[in-house]
Copies of this chain bind each other. A is one copy, B any other.
């Protein structure tokens, strides 16, 4: 037992292994990194010393010397309230990362600028190779110098807000147009749009899509209720207000700009027993939407693909790709389940 090999409170080092195997540290290093030119007997000895000491190389120390500042670690920042969508994106990124022997430092963005930038600082201080921002709402200009140094930044389900970085998201505009057209095509002439914060890019695209479809149908805007900044709770309240209006003045169809908003709307419709009388379409699916009665018609995204593509783009950059920023739009799918096919009630 040389050095600190028996020390309960610290990791054995390459020196401890070297001492036990009676070789030089560099030889241990060769074995660890599977470099050639190590005799098989030496290798054996080193390997068994590693095992005996439960030695585990310190990647940070190794990277420090290598100078390539590649920690094989990816940062992922989740901007949205925890929900199945962002979870899927996250785990999809994780599974790509594992294939690249990388790990994911994950954290939730809170919207509090100070706290969030502290989180990013912590990640950057740990020398992450890439950063994927999922559903990020605010601008991240301070990342520019980091990008110049080679940090691979990818925005998933959000726009890069001026940063020259790759982006992946659903084609929110086209998806919203599609859904809205479906509503219009079955005769709805009074509709409501309940959307999230419209300063978020994806939300604004959905809003625009909705409006574009309305416009092409030549419906007067007087027939449309447009409400922004919704969340589940507010959506409930607003929907109650909308449907408590005189029958001729109330919307016969509701476009929910997000799954949580849809939940609020559905709750409200149910309290009035109107869930089979007023149509609703939700942008983004949610668990159990198919099991309600009626089933909720949704504009479905593909979060797994978004995560996978984001991660792949990040690794391409990490591996040296220097092409122009790429902007991927993924198609959405309109899934009719009943709630979106309800005709206008009068």
Residues of A within 8 A of B (CB): 8-11, 54, 56-61, 63-64, 67, 69, 71-73, 82, 84, 87-88, 90-91, 94-95, 98, 101, 103-108, 115, 119, 121-127, 145-146, 148-150, 263, 266-267, 270, 286-289, 291-293
- A125 and B58 within 8 A (CB): yes
25 A-B contact pairs sorted by A residue (CB < 8 Å): A8-B148, A8-B149, A9-B150, A56-B121, A56-B124, A59-B126, A60-B60, A60-B63, A64-B64, A90-B106, A94-B107, A95-B108, A101-B122, A103-B105, A103-B122, A103-B123, A103-B126, A104-B105, A104-B106, A104-B107, A263-B287, A263-B288, A286-B287, A286-B288, A291-B292
A9 CB to closest chain B CB (Å) equals 5
Closest to A128 in B: B103
Complex interface: chain B residues within 8 A of A63 (CB): 60
A262 CB to closest chain B CB (Å) equals 10
A113 CB to closest chain B CB (Å) equals 14
- A149 and B57 within 8 A (CB): no
A278 CB to closest chain B CB (Å) equals 16
Closest to A121 in B: B56
Question: For the complex, what is the distance from the CA of A124 to the CA of B103, rounded to whole Å?
Answer: 11
Closest to A54 in B: B145
Complex interface: chain B residues within 8 A of A127 (CB): 11, 58, 60
Q: Closest 7 A-B residue pairs measured CB to CB?
A: A60-B60, A288-B288, A54-B145, A106-B106, A59-B125, A87-B87, A287-B287
Contact pick for A67, options B10, B105, B292, CB 8 Å: B10
- A126 and B73 within 8 A (CB): yes
Question: For the complex, what is the distance from the CA of A145 to the CA of B8, rounded to whole Å?
Answer: 9
- A69 and B103 within 8 A (CB): no
- A98 and B126 within 8 A (CB): no
